[in-house]
Amino acid sequence: MLPPAITTFLFAMTPIFELRGALPWGATIGGLSLTEAFCYSVVGNIFIAILLVLLLPKFTNFTKKYWPGLFRVLQKIFTHTRAKHSKKFERFAEVALVILVAIPLPGSGGWTGAMVAWLFGFKKKTAIALISLGIIIAGLLVAGITSGALTLAQLF
């Protein structure tokens, strides 16, 4: 079995739970302090977001060269998404990306932020900075919710 710190870090890299699941897990089941759980989950979530920002363009080029059928399907999805959302997104692009990542709900987070940043053509450094800020904000929100839940649990 892996140590709780490593498990929390790896759990934060998963696409569904990200730090929203890793932080509470680390602070409860993992037995880490809230500060430790926050740090490991934020760093794990930022790590995978950076990898995604750097690798999504390479993955698309790979599919274009070696898996053209998948590439055509992806292009249809990307074209549809850009056409449907670009007007709304262009006006507040940076703020919208941070908020999208910071909202501690399923379907938002570092993975989604990396895909949106790539889809709408953010520069890599800008995308990484904005996504990291959103992850830190999400971490603070989840830490606050977790702390409140732990306090309530102690009352009962």
pLDDT recorded at residue 84 = 79
Tokens found for residue 156: 């009962």
| Residue 12 phi, psi (nearest 5) | -70, -15
pLDDT recorded at residue 7 = 98
pLDDT recorded at residue 83 = 80
Per-residue pLDDT band for 35 (boundaries 50, 70, 90) equals very high
pTM for the structure as a whole: 0.90
Share above pLDDT 70 across residues of the chain, in percent, rounded to a whole number: 100
Alpha-helical (H) ranges within the chain are 4-11, 18-27, 34-66, 68-91, 93-102, 110-119, 124-155
pLDDT recorded at residue 12 = 97
Domain span including residue 139: 4-155
Q: What gap in Å lies between CA 18 and CA 35, rounded to an integer?
A: 17
Residue 3 in this model has a pLDDT that exceeds 80? yes
Residue 85 in this model has a pLDDT that exceeds 90? no
pLDDT recorded at residue 102 = 97
How many domains are contained in the chain? 1
Per-residue pLDDT band for 52 (boundaries 50, 70, 90) equals very high
pLDDT recorded at residue 123 = 95
Between 67 and 23, where is the model more confident?
Answer: 23
